[in-house]
Amino acid sequence: MAKNEVRFLNPPSVEVKKKKYCRFKKLGIKYIDYKDADFLLKFVNEQGKLLPRRLTGTSLKFQRKVSQAVKRARHIALMPYLADGLK
């Protein structure tokens, strides 16, 4: 056996990271409607808090719009300010 050869008992699992993308840029959505609570539900966690960009992959430009829309939806009681088990 060659000295430098490295052998693994189990083949090392190679994780292929799926690249995140901004769904608004990809789909060409330009306006985020605050009246569409079902859609905005994708950007909050089960407590009704906004999810960070690092989880959703949204670009900064659209993250600002998402947060604006969610806040408007909360104001007119289409979405809760605080919730428990929203999903």
Partner 1 sequence: MEKRYETVFILTPVLSDDQAKEAAKKFEKILTDLGAKINHRENWGLKKLAYPIQKKTTGFYHLVDFSGKGTEIAELELQFKRDERILRFLTIALEKHGATWADKRRGKQSEAKVAKTKKAEA
Residues near partner 1, by CB under 8 A:
30-31, 33-35, 37, 72, 74-83
- C-beta of 53: minimal distance to partner 1 in Å? 21
Nearest CB to partner 1, comparing residues 57 and 80: 80
The answer to whether 72 and 33 are in contact (CB under 8 A) is no
Nearest CB to partner 1, comparing residues 56 and 79: 79
Nearest CB to partner 1, comparing residues 51 and 83: 83
- C-beta of 40: minimal distance to partner 1 in Å? 11
77 vs 87: CA distance, rounded Å: 17
- C-beta of 8: minimal distance to partner 1 in Å? 53
25 Cβ contact list (under 8 Å, min separation 6): 59, 62
Residue 77, Ramachandran bin (φ over 0: left; ψ between -120 and 50: alpha; else beta): left
